[in-house]
Amino acid sequence: MSSTTLRAQESPGSTRPPQPDSGWPPTPKLVIGGIIAVAGIALVLYLAYFFNLTRVLNLVGEFHPFVQVVLVVVGFVAFVAGMLYLIDIAPRSGKIYTLVRLGICVLVPFAVLLFLNSFEWAAAVGAVLGAGLFLLDYRSRKGKGYLIQLVGFLLPAFLLLVIGLILPSIQTVGASFMNSSGERFVGFDNFIWVFTQPAAIRTVLNTIVWVLIAPAVSTAVGLAYAVFIDKSRGEKYYKVLVFMPMAISFVGASIIWRFIYAYRGPGETQIGLLNQIVVWFGGEPQQWLLDSPMNTFFLIVVLIWVQTGFAMVILSAAIKGVPTEQLEAAELDGTNAWQRFINVVVPGIRSSLIVVLTTISIASLKVFDIVRTMTAGNNDTSVIANEMYTQFKNFEGGRSAAFAVILFLLVLPIVIYNARQIKKQREIR
């Protein structure tokens, strides 16, 4: 082949595949980042070897509060910067980047275990786990060993699922057929007790009331907010205000509402907002959380207040996804706003409505924090999750397990329905 032909093949118009970057010579950015990374890893290993986590925290606690804040901020920024740097360079091809990935895989578990005062375990686990992760990463980049990669990446999650969920579930079902000490098989006695004791029956009925009212009201109010706030002036600010309770834990929300429902006798200064409003209008203060069955509804208000923001955000996004062509066509047909909402918008957001309803329903079935914080289950306000905890605290393991099984059976139909709806949506798409 002539030199002219060779030059033609190497011309700019040639379709030669790009050569992979070997990573050498390294760029200044890589050199600087590498030096910082090595220094950081060396510092972590030094601290991990000579100090455990408790000693490090105690050492930081001896400084002035201002210095503590500075150290925490600097450490957090350095950690985030290091992660971003590694995310940027680690996936690249080339020998030097391969060595970087190997170092990360080995040193991270090594440093973590050193903080737990276990040098031998740190060395062993760091070497084995690091080598395994590196091998999986290396083979995936070579396009080999798909089955090994699949097993390697899914096995840890599967083991955690078995240990943390499946085995405890089996043990709970077994414990529900045993006596309080777990030594004697009693059959269905624990379940018979649940459905024959008035207090236990009231607990189950309260849970059903929660799951009937809270999801429906939360979804309806959230949908109303999504419709009326959408495209209004200050939409973002209104949505932030409505969604804000979602950022509060159930315990925090319960404490807030305990102050709202707080009671003091007639003639005394009321610290509860609700009773103060009643007094302003000439009424007598009420003990809102004592009188059954209304106290259960006052507790449900807390969950509605928290979950409404969640419903609003999901449904607002779904409404924005309804095709404007459909709305315009319905308007040309002479329909009013209500008819367009019922016949066009609601069918268009049906899948989102199902997700919101099922999510809040499951939260209602498992509600514990609100009841425990506000009434501790007294005055006929207990629910299944709270009673499960109460029985366990009273050393009635069998009855506690029976409540857990009942709760699981109540949640199961909702989960199955949700899974089927998701499957149908995928088939339609």
pLDDT tens digit sequence for 10-25:
444 445 445 444 445 5
Cα–Cα distance measured from residue 212 to residue 364, given in angstroms and rounded to the nearest whole number: 9
Inform me whether the pLDDT recorded for 6 exceeds 50.
Answer: no
pLDDT in the model for residue 221? 93
Choice between 332 and 85, residue whose per-residue pLDDT is larger: 332
Crossing angle between the packed helical segments 95-114 and 119-141, to the nearest 10 degrees: 150
Two structure tokens written together for 194: 């649940």
Q: Which domains does the chain have, with CATH numbers?
A: 28-116 (no CATH), 193-428 (1.10.3720.10)
- Contact 178/398 with Cβ under 8 angstroms? yes
Identify the sign of the CA torsion 42, 48, 54, 55. Answer: negative
CB atoms < 10 A from the CB of 214, how many? 24
Inform me whether the pLDDT recorded for 394 exceeds 80.
Answer: yes
pLDDT in the model for residue 65? 81
pLDDT in the model for residue 336? 85
Buried b (16+ CB within 10 A) or exposed e, 266-279: eeeebebebbeebb
- Contact 178/184 with Cβ under 8 angstroms? yes
Cα–Cα distance measured from residue 118 to residue 104, given in angstroms and rounded to the nearest whole number: 19
Q: What is the 3-state secondary structure (H, E, C) of 15-26?
A: CCCCCCCCCCCC
- In Å, what is the CA distance from 215 to each residue of 49, 103, 314, 353, 414? 52, 50, 14, 10, 12
Two structure tokens written together for 88: 């940027």
Tell me if residue 363 falls in helix, strand or coil: helix
Put simply, whether the predicted model's pTM sits higher than 0.85 gets the answer no
265 pLDDT tier (thresholds 50, 70, 90) = confident
- Contact 374/255 with Cβ under 8 angstroms? no
pLDDT in the model for residue 8? 44
Q: Write out the DSSP string of 47-63.
A: HHHH--HHHHHHHHHTS
For residues 181-194, average pLDDT: 88
Inform me whether the pLDDT recorded for 118 exceeds 90.
Answer: no
Integer Rg of the chain from CA:
30
Element (H, E) at 64: none
Choice between 419 and 171, residue whose per-residue pLDDT is larger: 171
For residues 258-276, average pLDDT: 86
pLDDT in the model for residue 22? 46
pLDDT in the model for residue 417? 85
Closest of 184, 26, 45, 20 to residue 106, by C-alpha = 45
- In Å, what is the CA distance from 374 to each residue of 258, 270, 288, 313, 403? 6, 18, 11, 28, 21
pLDDT in the model for residue 311? 93
Mean pLDDT check: name the lowest of 24-33, 197-206, 236-245, 272-281: 24-33
pLDDT in tens, 203-227: 999 999 999 999 999 999 999 998 8
Two structure tokens written together for 165: 């969920």
pLDDT in the model for residue 351? 85
Q: Tell me what the pLDDT averaged over the chain comes to.
A: 79
Tell me if residue 410 falls in helix, strand or coil: helix
Two structure tokens written together for 334: 């002479």
Amino acid at 350: R
- In Å, what is the CA distance from 356 to each residue of 182, 334, 361? 39, 31, 8
240 pLDDT tier (thresholds 50, 70, 90) = confident
- Contact 241/265 with Cβ under 8 angstroms? no
